[in-house]
Chain A
Amino acid sequence: MNLDFSQLVPYIPFMLKGIWTTIQFVIVSIIVGSILGTLLALFKIGTVKPLRWFADAYTSIFRGTPLILQLMIIYYSVPQLTGYDINAFTSAVLAFGLNSSAYISEIIRAGIQAVDKGQMEAAQALGIPYRAMMKDIILPQALKNILPALMNEFITLTKESAIVSTIGYLDLMRRAQVVGSDLFRNFEPLLFVGFIYWCMVMVLTVIGRMIERRLKLSD
């Protein structure tokens, strides 16, 4: 055991900057994933057959192949196909957003289907149009049921975000590797960012509990 964290000190600001880089693209990915996921879920429970097929095929592809493969394909093949030089941030957001939307759509679909059918009938009987019914009556109730599953997905996404280090995006993970090869010591920087990941997940967990408690008000 010859751990020496003192050598890490000059590199700490460099590594801390990785928090923001990671958070930045995790947040954008969560937003993209949630919007797309909600749309896909609505396709899946809808009555338009081609949309349903599309959503099912989409989910099957993005759940059926490794995330790192999807990331590589987006980062390396877009320039090859189109000539557009896609940057690491855009590739990362695309891969993570598209991938998590497949999972989120399944969570939301199950959540909507768990809402009592009578809620939809009551809304219809009042003459409430489909869009307003979904937005104001069904989805808020579904959201309450699926919040734990949804938080789980966001936590997974936060941790899995470390994969983007493989395309050279300077996130927390990549920065730990950079510092490691600079110092010829890997354990200390890896442990350091490991702790930061854990803190970020704890923050998410606490936020999730807070929202859950707020939604419980109507119980």
Chain B
Amino acid sequence: MIKVQNLYKKFGSNLVLNDISVTIKQGEVVSVIGPSGSGKSTFLRCLNLLEKPTSGTVLINETDLTAKGADIHKSRQQIGMVFQHFHLFPHLTVLENLTYAPIKVKGLKRAEANDKARLLLAKVGLSDKAAAYPSSLSGGQKQRVAIARALAMEPELLLFDEPTSALDPEMVKEVLDVMKDLAKSGMTMVVVTHEMGFAREVADRVIFLDHGSLVEEGSPAAFFASPKTERAREFLEKVL
């Protein structure tokens, strides 16, 4: 379970996140949507402390990530992240991308890590690319490898930062399909996305941010059919 309490984030004097409190249950899929500049990505990056919150707490299974002296590396091992621009390690093969952290950080044996990585590659449909370098893959393939890399650490929670925004339109589906499978398998996911279709179909809950504040949250069915706030209504009119 993830519990975010009174989260504030300032860049200089610019207030980017304004008093956000959210609780995410085990196995829940939450979509974070909102106009650009609303603080969606910053919110996501605060969950694994890529951005340090100005104040507030982030609890993951009762461990306070924001506490003084918290073992941030240890916590991050339980939180996978998938980026908009993939950020695969270009000098390592696909297989090495998946095995590096499990071997180095979790102390897995190479053979064991390789077996697990191959299973994950099969799961995302890229078994034949194990020996390839990232530069030879398409955008959609890169993103699927990135998802597999995050899964290789067996995280409790998976964060997605606009995972399909940098993809050509015809590659969006292959990535969303992988994400749907994950959601079905009970993975806890927080997804910042512009894919309203995904939010509507797959998410258990939608969170709408605007100007750094949590304006509205609710089930996708209710949110998309009849948003309660004016700002959410305006936003939906523009994107749907």
List of A residues within 8 angstroms of B105 by Cβ:
126-129, 132
CB of A160 within 8 Å of the partner chain: no
List of B residues within 8 angstroms of A1 by Cβ:
none
List of A residues within 8 angstroms of B87 by Cβ:
116, 118-119, 121-122
A217 and B81 within 8 A (CB): no
Considering only residues 90-115 of chain B, those with a C-beta below 8 Å from chain A are 90-92, 100-101, 104-105
A125 and B80 within 8 A (CB): yes
Chain B proximity of A111: nearest CB distance (Å): 13
List of A residues within 8 angstroms of B80 by Cβ:
125-126
Considering only residues 91-120 of chain A, those with a C-beta below 8 Å from chain B are 116, 118-119
Chain B proximity of A19: nearest CB distance (Å): 35
B74 and A125 within 8 A (CB): no
CB of B135 within 8 Å of the partner chain: yes
B104 and A219 within 8 A (CB): no
Chain B proximity of A114: nearest CB distance (Å): 13
B101 and A141 within 8 A (CB): no
Considering only residues 187-219 of chain A, those with a C-beta below 8 Å from chain B are 215, 217-219
In the complex, what distance in Å separates the CA atom of A208 from the CA atom of B80?
A: 38
Closest to A121 in B: B50
* Complex partner residue of A136 from B100, B135, B150, CB under 8 angstroms: B100
A127 and B91 within 8 A (CB): no
List of B residues within 8 angstroms of A118 by Cβ:
83, 85, 87
A side interface size, CB within 8 A: 21
CB of A168 within 8 Å of the partner chain: no
On whether A126 and B153 interact (CB within 8 A), knowing A121-B50, A132-B104, the answer reads yes
* Complex partner residue of B89 from A124, A137, A219, CB under 8 angstroms: A137
B50 and A124 within 8 A (CB): yes
List of B residues within 8 angstroms of A140 by Cβ:
91
A128 and B91 within 8 A (CB): no
In the complex, what distance in Å separates the CA atom of A140 from the CA atom of B87?
A: 15
Q: Mark A121-165, 1 if CB is under 8 A from B, else 0.
A: 110111111001000110011001000000000000000000000
Closest to B133 in A: A218
Taking A126-B149, A129-B105, A132-B104 as known contacts, 13 extra A-B pairs with beta carbons closer than 8 A to each other, sorted by chain A number, are: A116-B87, A121-B83, A124-B50, A125-B48, A125-B79, A125-B80, A126-B150, A126-B153, A127-B74, A127-B77, A128-B73, A128-B104, A215-B91
Residues of B within 8 A of A (CB): 48, 50, 73-77, 79-81, 83, 85, 87-92, 100-101, 104-105, 133-135, 149-150, 153
Can you spell out 24 A-B residue pairs with CB atoms less than 8 angstroms apart?
A: A116-B87, A118-B83, A121-B83, A122-B83, A122-B88, A122-B89, A124-B76, A125-B79, A125-B80, A126-B77, A126-B100, A126-B149, A126-B150, A127-B73, A127-B74, A127-B153, A132-B104, A141-B89, A141-B90, A144-B91, A218-B90, A218-B92, A218-B134, A218-B135
